[in-house]
Amino acid sequence: MEHIFNKLGYEISLKKENQTDVAIAMLSINNPDGTPRWIWDAACNKPLFLKFYNVGSQRALLFATAIKLVFMLKLQKLVFKKNTYYLSKTDHKLVNLQTDWALFTGTVGPNNKAILYANQSFYKIATTKNAQTLIHDEHLMLEKVNASSTTFITPKTTQISNDVIQLTDISNNGSRVKNIMSSHLNALTEMYQMENKIIKASAWDQFIHLTTDFKTINDHRIPKNMVRKIDLILQAIPADELVELSLSQGDFTQWNMFEKNGKLSIYDWELAGSNKPKAFDYFHFIIQNGVLVDHKPWKDIYAEIIQSFQGDFAKELFNSDLDELNNYLKWYLLINCMHYLKVYADQPKWHVQIHWLLQVWNEALNTFLVAEKTPRELIIMDLFDAIQNQEYAALKFQDGFPEKLSLQSDIDLVITKEMSDLLIQMLKNHALVSKMTSCKRSFMNTIQVFTHGADILSVDLIWQLKRRNLEILDAEQVISKNEMNNYGVKNASSIDTARYVVMFYILNGAKIPAKYLGYEAAISSSKESIDLIISGYFSNLYKDKAPLQQLIRQYTSNKGFNFIKNTWNYMIDTVKNSKKSNGFVVTFSGVDGAGKSTVIENIAIRIEKQFRRKVVVLRHRPSVLPILSVWTKGKEKAHQDSISSLPRQGKNSSSISSLLRFAYYYCDYLFGQFVIYFKHIAKGHVVIYDRYYFDFINDSKRSNIVLPKSISRFGYHLLLKPKFNFFLFADANIILSRKKELSKETIESLTKEYTQLFHSLQANSHSAVYMPINNIDLETTLNQIIKTVNVD
């Protein structure tokens, strides 16, 4: 504080050193670390320091109202901290502190400057070399802007010294507006018209300078995947790409302006310049306000960017082209991120707002990486960036870039319960997440993330490592011994991983997978009793889990009250888990050659691995009753004939025979559906039918049945409706290139009939899905199915 007053022409101390020293009582409000934030003359009857405060939220309004009430009741000397200082004037006194004044000591960092309000003016006081440059640039820029005719108002400026500039107060009883309005857009349009130019990216000095500085950043706190994203975007920019630059205020935010009668008063021009991409201020206003004031996630901020894109501003700058707007959003993010990542890397201590901004900027960068990364990969990158500066331990995680995790693999993180809640909120609000479900238990939370790309990511957030009612490892110790790999992931140590792998698989009655056998080396030299027993499982010395269970029961965490607590929690978890949602039925229909078998094979794997549900594949019907030929040929011969015979080759033409055959198979559906329900659906399994009852409606000849459709169609009313029904089709020529079992005319006829049936059923259904899918590209088909099969 002393050096700030010194720059104003005063020496200040807590003791009187000269007879000419003047005693002055000051009141202050401190920062959380105890350093003064706002200081003012105790004799001042107005809260002038609120001139520095942004009343942009309900909480801020409440604070400002409380301050005003304190002053109105003249209680400020009782409420705020009071100190008496002694001032002595130097030969270069710049302001008169004998009148009312207030001082803001500034924000910690390389650009720190204090701001004094006195004599109806603001005085910016540079306290660093960077700040000196900034206030000098602001003075020059304001002189330039004030020389132009504009509808917005800017302060008049006077350079008092190298460290101090004076700015007139332009607040004029205006109000701060947090939403971007026509007055903002008009001001931005005017600034664009004042100065703009088109330049190649390779000739853009600021861009080259920021890129060079960005590549020198070496700070473990900077999110590693965010840096990789920026690198990927930079690599994709051609050297001859043209960029339009224009005049920018540089920090166009609600706390740097007032609005009154549709007119904008803008101050704080120290970051202004003509070397930023056009619309920089537009993006900056919405994003900064969304993050720092409204605490919105990126998806809501982006929606506001699109919604506010209108009027003359949109026409003048972008010809109302959304693609062009997005292109300049990319440039805004690059310039802003590279600049501030360097600033933050040089800043010893981070305030919480930095973490908020980094998370939103990081997620915003995903918009420009859809060609390089899938939504699932980008979510994984963001997840690990979000916890990079926290303590956790990933279990059994690959050694490579985190987003390269197999589609069939999930993420197991040992973290604190508080971190778990923050991660869940982050994933829930993520722009690339279409839906998120969670299954919370006493010791962990299992998250399933459904992406807009139809992929699924499963994440286990674990704060107590347990098997049933026994704690197998101390989570805090596992976290404390984590090891960061070269990709920024903090893994559990090799020895903890070896212990966990054995305990997890052996206590679950499973074999240790071959890929984990290498962890035996981690405990080979250990003499701890737990490792000696675990080593026995690696070497197959022990065949059952009894020795391991006996050892674990001796842990303090599994004795006495802890045992009772663990057992109670296990019982509660078991009851809750028993109430989990039922399974469901998925049916696939289509002519031979439509690709059902391949699709079913892939979908079964995805559902089993990603949805964590058991999958049962049935052919055509429940098969509680055998096929009819079993009764005459025997099971083995009937099965062989069924496989070897071509479809639709039956010779039956009798209505009575057909009715009897249909009645037999219908009984299988009618009664078998309840067997399937209690055997599988009620247990949470997913049942997939390769063909279903719809064949009896549209293609009964396939089952050697000749009956009117109305009979089989009526029978469907009495059956439980499968939740998801897909009819796979393709062009007849494509199907014939795969299989030549049916004629082109038959394929086209059946396709038409199935499509009409599915459309008719869908029109009359509010819960089941009947969806025809043109199965041309396998991955597209699988993604569409996964996106539809959205488990509650």
Which of 63 and 626 is assigned the larger pLDDT? 63
Q: What is the pLDDT of residue 630?
A: 58
For the ranges 259-268, 370-379, 627-636, 700-709, the lowest mean pLDDT is seen at: 627-636
Q: What is the pLDDT of residue 650?
A: 58
Q: Which alpha helices (H) appear in 651-770, and where do they start and end?
A: 655-679, 694-698, 709-715, 732-738, 744-763
| Cβ neighbours for 186, distance < 8 A, ≥ 6 positions apart | 151, 152, 264, 312, 313
Q: What is the pLDDT of residue 168?
A: 95
Token pair listed for 707: 């009956």
589 residue type, one letter = S
Rounded mean pLDDT, 562-585: 86
Return the DSSP state at 645.
S
414-431 pLDDT, tens digit each = 999 999 999 999 999 999
Whether residue 91 has pLDDT greater than 90: no
On whether the 584-788 domain is CATH 3.30.499.10, my answer is: no
Whether residue 665 has pLDDT greater than 80: yes
Q: Which of 631, 691, 639, 640 is nearest to 661 (CA)?
A: 631
Interhelix angle for 311-318 vs 182-194, to 10°?
A: 30
All structural domains of the chain with their residue ranges: 2-168, 182-368, 391-578, 584-788
Rounded mean pLDDT, 519-523: 91
Rounded mean pLDDT, 506-534: 89
CB burial string 36-72: b at 16+ within 10 A, e below: bbbbbbbebeebbbbebbbbbeeeeeeeeeebeebbe
Q: What is the pLDDT of residue 639?
A: 54
- How far is the C-alpha of 387 from the C-alpha of 148, rounded, in Å? 48
Q: What is the pLDDT of residue 724?
A: 97
Rounded mean pLDDT, 361-372: 96
583-609 pLDDT, tens digit each = 899 999 999 889 999 999 999 998 888
Q: What is the pLDDT of residue 428?
A: 95
Rounded mean pLDDT, 781-789: 90
Whether residue 792 has pLDDT greater than 60: no
Whether residue 13 has pLDDT greater than 90: no
| Cβ neighbours for 315, distance < 8 A, ≥ 6 positions apart | none
Q: What is the pLDDT of residue 444?
A: 95
Whether residue 645 has pLDDT greater than 80: no
Rounded mean pLDDT, 154-181: 91
439-489 pLDDT, tens digit each = 899 999 999 999 988 888 999 999 999 999 999 999 999 999 999 999 999
Query: What share of the chain in percent tops pLDDT 90?
Result: 65
Which residues share a beta bridge with 414? 393, 462
- How far is the C-alpha of 595 from the C-alpha of 774, rounded, in Å? 10
Q: How confident is the model at residue 706 (pLDDT cuts 50, 70, 90)?
A: confident
Whether residue 629 has pLDDT greater than 80: no
Which of 19 and 448 is assigned the larger pLDDT? 448
Token pair listed for 506: 């052996």
CB 170 within 8 A of CB 265: yes
- How far is the C-alpha of 418 from the C-alpha of 587, rounded, in Å? 42
Q: Which of 701, 694, 683 is nearest to 721 (CA)?
A: 694
Distance (Å) of CA 749 to CA 702, 743, 772: 14, 10, 15
Whole-angstrom distance between the N-terminal and C-terminal Cα of the chain?
Answer: 59
Token pair listed for 547: 């020795």
Q: How confident is the model at residue 115 (pLDDT cuts 50, 70, 90)?
A: very high
Q: What is the dihedral of CA 609, 613, 614, 617, to 10 degrees?
A: -80
- How far is the C-alpha of 743 from the C-alpha of 727, rounded, in Å? 19
322 residue type, one letter = L
Distance (Å) of CA 418 to CA 391, 438, 444, 465, 484: 12, 15, 12, 16, 21
Rounded mean pLDDT, 74-87: 90
Q: What is the pLDDT of residue 23?
A: 85
- How far is the C-alpha of 186 from the C-alpha of 317, rounded, in Å? 11
For the ranges 223-237, 267-281, 615-629, the lowest mean pLDDT is seen at: 615-629
Rounded mean pLDDT, 536-560: 88
CB 471 within 8 A of CB 464: yes
Q: Which of 690, 708, 705, 703 is nearest to 647 (CA)?
A: 703
Q: What is the pLDDT of residue 454?
A: 80
Return the DSSP state at 329.
H
- How far is the C-alpha of 59 from the C-alpha of 62, rounded, in Å? 5
Mean pLDDT, the chain, integer: 90
Token pair listed for 507: 């206590």
Q: How confident is the model at residue 557 (pLDDT cuts 50, 70, 90)?
A: very high
Return the DSSP state at 107.
-
The pTM is what? 0.82
Whether residue 580 has pLDDT greater than 70: no
Token pair listed for 50: 């609120």
Distance (Å) of CA 112 to CA 36, 109, 443, 589: 14, 5, 45, 68
Q: What is the pLDDT of residue 6?
A: 83
Distance (Å) of CA 770 to CA 74, 712, 773, 789: 72, 18, 10, 12
**For tokens 């306290």, what's the residue?**
127
Indicate the fold that domain 182-368 takes in CATH.
Aminoglycoside 3'-phosphotransferase; Chain: A, domain 2 (3.90.1200)
Q: How confident is the model at residue 638 (pLDDT cuts 50, 70, 90)?
A: very low
Which of 350 and 21 is assigned the larger pLDDT? 350
Query: What share of the chain in percent tops pLDDT 70?
Result: 95
**Residue count (the chain):** 792
Rounded mean pLDDT, 254-278: 93
**For tokens 């304190």, what's the residue?**
70
With residue 787 as reference, give the H or E element that holds it: helix 778-788
**For tokens 């696939």, what's the residue?**
588
- How far is the C-alpha of 201 from the C-alpha of 240, rounded, in Å? 6
Specify the 3-state DSSP secondary structure of 586: strand
- How far is the C-alpha of 546 from the C-alpha of 534, rounded, in Å? 12
CB 594 within 8 A of CB 775: yes
Distance (Å) of CA 294 to CA 216, 222, 355, 386: 33, 24, 15, 20
Strand extents, DSSP E, 105-173: 113-118, 121-126, 157-159, 164-168
